[in-house]
């Protein structure tokens, strides 16, 4: 046995679509599974303690839930998705563990079976759904039932991830949100999340800038991201169509039709002048989700 499974990163929320929109992008966790004499899981280039290894925890939970014994396999994880940056690295690890269990033990798990285990570790379908099925999704979870709809995402839109070297825990970034919101703010977000959907479907890209405005999470979370407003201004001044916090941050997502290298360069130079390390990636949509790839 020798195969690789790759599971994409995701950008969620996309401004007003808090806890709803999830977009898979072409950064991956790649799991290389080989026959072995022992059961061994390791990371390429990273030293992660077993108790911090989410993949291992989820895989062990699958063994327990299905009363299965460990098969001796060697799994090496190569991760291109930075941790705690709002790019769905946890969801990618969770989906990777459940899919590998499913393949090795020939369980034929349905999407619902997979989400049921996944929710024990991560309650956000807007990252789990794109990791599993790829593409741009409208997602929601009602009790334990998951509803999602995968829609076309315009091929011409380039997706940038400006990733400051700042970790943000989703749990902490949820704690700072208000427990109640004004009805005016709810209406504000409903209007804009629908505007986002309709402008992507009809390719009215000039509407995206208004569509990503949000009153539920970004005004609170941007305080956790150094110089968020400056980066937003730099991106818009250089031709970006939409700028938003990816997931709970710290990554800043940008949609653009042009100047992708220039936006990355200017944002990186600005942050570096403020002594903030960062990287910037020019991405595209992953349309397939978790997928076995050539070994």
Which one, 12 or 199, has the nearer CB to ligand HSE?
12
Query: Counting contacts by CB under 6 A, is residue 127 touching ligand HSE?
Result: yes
Q: Site residues for ligand HSE, window 161-190 (CB under 6 A)?
A: 170, 174
- Contact status, residue 164 vs residue 250, Cβ threshold 8 Å: yes
Residue nearest to ligand HSE (CB): 247
Burial 265-290 (b: 16+ CB within 10 A, else e): ebbbebbeeeebebebbebebbbebb
Which tokens go with 131?
Answer: 């990791």
**Which residues, numbered 83-102, are part of the site for ligand HSE (CB under 6 A)?**
86
CA 61/CA 263 separation, integer angstroms: 43
Binding segment for ligand HSE among 52-60, 121-129, 132-140, 152-160 (CB under 6 A)? 121-129
Place of tokens 């098969």: 71
Q: Are 87 and 81 in contact (CB under 8 A)?
A: yes
247 binds ligand HSE (CB under 6 A): yes
**Residues 197/138, Cβ–Cβ less than 8 Å:** yes
Q: Decide whether 192 or 217 has the Cβ nearer to ligand HSE.
A: 217
Q: Which of 6, 85, 99, 124 binds ligand HSE (CB under 6 A)?
A: 124
- Tell me which of 189, 238, 248, 259 binds ligand HSE, using CB under 6 A: 248
3-class DSSP state of 279: strand
Does the footprint of ligand HSE cover residue 214 (CB under 6 A)? no
Site of interaction with ligand HSE (CB under 6 A): 12-13, 19, 86, 124, 126-127, 170, 174, 217, 247-248
């Amino acid at each position: 046995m020798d195969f690789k499974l790759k599971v994409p990163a995701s950008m969620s929320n996309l401004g007003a679509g808090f806890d709803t929109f999830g977009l898979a992008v072409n950064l991956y966790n790649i799991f290389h599974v080989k026959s072995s004499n022992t059961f061994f899981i390791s990371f390429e280039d990273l030293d992660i303690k077993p108790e911090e290894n989410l993949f291992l925890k989820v895989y062990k939970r699958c063994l327990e839930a299905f009363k299965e014994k460990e098969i001796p396999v060697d799994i090496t994880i190569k991760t291109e998705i930075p941790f705690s940056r709002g790019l769905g690295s946890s969801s990618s690890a969770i989906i990777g563990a459940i899919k590998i269990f499913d393949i090795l033990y020939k369980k034929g798990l349905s999407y619902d079976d997979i989400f049921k285990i996944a929710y024990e570790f991560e309650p956000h379908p807007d990252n789990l759904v794109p990791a599993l099925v790829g593409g741009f999704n409208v997602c929601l979870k009602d009790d334990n039932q998951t509803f999602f709809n995968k829609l076309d995402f315009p091929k011409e839109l380039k997706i940038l991830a400006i990733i400051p070297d700042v970790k943000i825990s989703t749990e902490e970034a949820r704690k700072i949100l208000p427990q109640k919101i004004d009805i005016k703010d709810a209406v504000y977000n409903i209007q804009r999340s629908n505007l986002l959907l309709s402008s992507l479907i009809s390719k009215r890209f000039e509407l995206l800038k208004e569509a990503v405005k949000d009153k539920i999470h970004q005004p609170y979370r941007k305080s956790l991201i150094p110089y968020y407003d400056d980066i937003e201004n730099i991106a818009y001044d250089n031709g970006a169509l939409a700028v938003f916090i990816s997931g709970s941050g710290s990554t800043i997502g940008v949609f653009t039709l042009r100047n992708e290298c220039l936006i990355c360069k200017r944002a990186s130079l600005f942050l570096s002048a403020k002594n903030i390390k960062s990287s910037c990636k020019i991405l595209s949509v992953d349309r397939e989700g978790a997928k076995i790839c050539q070994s």
